[in-house]
Amino acid sequence: MREDEQKLIQKAQGGNREAFGVLYDHYLPQIYRFVLLKVGLREDAEDLTHRVFLSAWEHIRRYEHRGFPFSSWLYRIAGNAVIDHYRTTRHHQNIDAVPEEMLAEADTTSETVDTALSAHRVRAVLLKLEPDQQSVLIMRFINDLSNKEIAEALGKTEGAVRVIQHRALKQLKKLADV
């Protein structure tokens, strides 16, 4: 999508809602996953994801392509939305809440139960990491972003992202062994 992406962004910056709609459809799943893993509750994730894209639409004219993909800009907005969410709600993550998406196509097989339990364990361990570590691991291993893209989204250097990732993986290993 990268070739057409710049054209769509330019059209959206000119007020073309359809062009922004194409960008929305393309990036919605990965931004939603990122937010859901950070907040844990489907309703909160849906609301925050909606706010992310509303903010992106309202501020699209300020977006400048500086060698980083559009997704990095969206992740930065999403990260800020999550921070604001916790600041305003003083809500603590409930690690017992398994997102409905993980159970959406569930049947009564043991595989489904194992999948839900595994997802619950991964989320519980992930929540024990620092917020930057969580973000780096989610963006890198779940949403498959490069270190360069993550660095832009978090406002850090690529070297800092590599260090955060290394420390997060080391901490995950420690926590998983417990």
pLDDT tens-digit readout, 37-82: 888 889 999 999 999 999 999 999 999 887 778 999 999 999 999 9
Mean pLDDT value of segment 145-153: 89
125 contacts: CB under 8 Å, gap ≥ 6: 172, 175, 176
- In whole angstroms, what is the distance from residue 90 CA to residue 81 CA? 14
Are 105 and 134 a contacting pair, CB within 8 Å?
A: no
Mean pLDDT value of segment 22-38: 94
CATH of domain 1-93: 1.10.1740.10
- In whole angstroms, what is the distance from residue 70 CA to residue 53 CA? 12
- In whole angstroms, what is the distance from residue 84 CA to residue 39 CA? 12
- In whole angstroms, what is the distance from residue 103 CA to residue 146 CA? 29
**Mean of the per-residue pLDDT values of the chain:** 83
